[in-house]
Structures are given as C-alpha cells and as structure tokens.
Amino acid sequence: MIQLAPSILSADFSRLGEDVSLVEQAGADVIHVDVMDGHFVPNISYGAVVMKSLLGRTKLPFDVHLMIEHPDQYVEDFVTEQTEYITVHQEACTHLHRTLQHIKGLGVKAGVALNPATPLAALDYILEEADLILIMSVNPGFGGQKFIPSALRKVRELKALKKKQGLGFTIEIDGGVSLDNVKTITDAGVELVVAGSSVFKADDVKARVRTFRELF
C-alpha cells in the first residue's frame, strides 16, 4: 500500500491547524514534519513545539524528518503518542547504529535518510536495523526544489536490496514530488511519498490530496 505524507514545511503557518485538517479530511496518511537546524542544512524551520501544537488537532501519525546535527540530543523531544517515525540523516550521525537503537528504544520506528550524493552502500551494515529508508530527491533544506532523477535509480536499487535480503523497511522519497512524476516514483518502489509544495501550494489543497491518492 502506498501512502501520502504532506510536508507541513509548505503549509500556511498562520493557519497550520486548518491546513493539517484539510489534508486529513482529503485522505492523507501521515504528516511529514521537517526539522532544520541551520547547520546540517542551510535553513531553520521549526521544532518540537510546533509539531506538538498539532497533537489532538489531527489523528494522523507524525513522520519526523530531522535535518539536524547531533540528533541524539533531540529525539526525545519528538516522541509523542502520534509519532510513528523519527528519521535521522546518515551524514549527520557518527554512530548511526547507536542512534537507531536510541530511537527504537523510545518506542518509535527509526528511519535513515540519504542525501542525493550519498551512495546506498553507506547503509550496507545498517539496513536490517532501519524501519524506514528515506531517499532524498532534492538537497535537503528547502521546499519547492526540482526532483533529482538519480533518486529513482537509488530507489530501484534499494527495492532490489530489500527483496534480496527479505527486509521489511519502508521506502520513502522526499523532494520535488509532483503529479507529473509521482507515478514513476511509486512504480520504482516508493511506498511513502512526501509532497510539500505540490500539496499545500495548490489552489485546492483537498482536491490535490485526492488526485495524488488516485494516482497511487
């Protein structure tokens, strides 16, 4: 089953609760929460306080994408009854194995994200520990960027590895997803699709979520 995770990075923060309700009513599966520290990525977004303001406003699970250095220091802040995944970047973790155990020890599924230039081989000894692998299809830091096509090859190779090794992690993609490329993306093997600007910058947000769902 393929799921849609609208990224609130592109929502209207002056009416965040309403925007999240819209996507929930239209059938979104997960809320993607982009946390940026201005160090790992050249932008600052928001932190756990903003995410927690949505508790009770939506019943949807949270998919937390930490684009931050030293994520171990902050993972506890993002653990709530609605937090399904906490994903850290391979490039930001000196002791990735330890960080994944830390997240799972808090009762949350643990994900690993890879920047566009990072090879899949960086995950060779960690794949069986991960509940989710997030393939970045833009350089992280901003919404509304153009999809980087080599991410598709990475997804296909990851899907093949998953099958060969009989593993259960979810394959997620993030960045530059649109109505035009989403079919190619899901055909390649993506199971959790993040979409920011293509959902929240649409004239009719609910209609856009429904159209995405119809393409799955």
Q: Interface residues with ligand DX5 (CB under 6 A)?
A: 7, 9-10, 32, 34, 65, 138, 140-145, 174-177, 194-198
Choose the binding region for Zn ion from 15-23, 35-43, 65-73, 101-109 (rule: CB under 5 A): 65-73
- Closest approach of Cβ 166 to ligand DX5, in Å? 29
- Cβ closest to Zn ion, residue 51 vs residue 163: 51
Taking Cα atoms as reference points, which of 121, 89, 83, 134 lies closest to residue 104? Answer: 83
Cite the beta strand spans of the chain per DSSP E. Answer: 3-6, 31-36, 62-67, 83-89, 109-114, 132-136, 170-174, 192-195
Round to the nearest angstrom and report the end-to-end CA distance of the chain. 8
- Cβ closest to ligand DX5, residue 167 vs residue 213: 213
Q: Is 65 in the site for Zn ion (CB under 5 A)?
A: yes
Choose the binding region for Zn ion from 26-34, 84-92, 94-102, 156-164 (rule: CB under 5 A): 26-34
- Closest approach of Cβ 125 to ligand DX5, in Å? 25
CB 28 within 8 A of CB 208: no
Among 19, 24, 29, 34, contact with Zn ion (rule: CB under 5 A): 34
Three-state SS string over 105-157 comes to HCCCEEEEEECCCCCHHHHCCCHHHCCEEEEECCCCCCCCCCCCCHHHHHHHH
- Closest approach of Cβ 48 to Zn ion, in Å? 16
Catalytic residues: 34, 174
- Cβ closest to ligand DX5, residue 79 vs residue 179: 179
Choose the binding region for Zn ion from 32-40, 85-93, 95-103, 163-171 (rule: CB under 5 A): 32-40
Which two structure tokens, joined as six digits, stand for 152?
Answer: 């598709």
- Cβ closest to Zn ion, residue 10 vs residue 165: 10
What's the rounded Cα separation, in Å, for the pair 183 and 155?
A: 13
What's the rounded Cα separation, in Å, for the pair 8 and 199?
A: 9
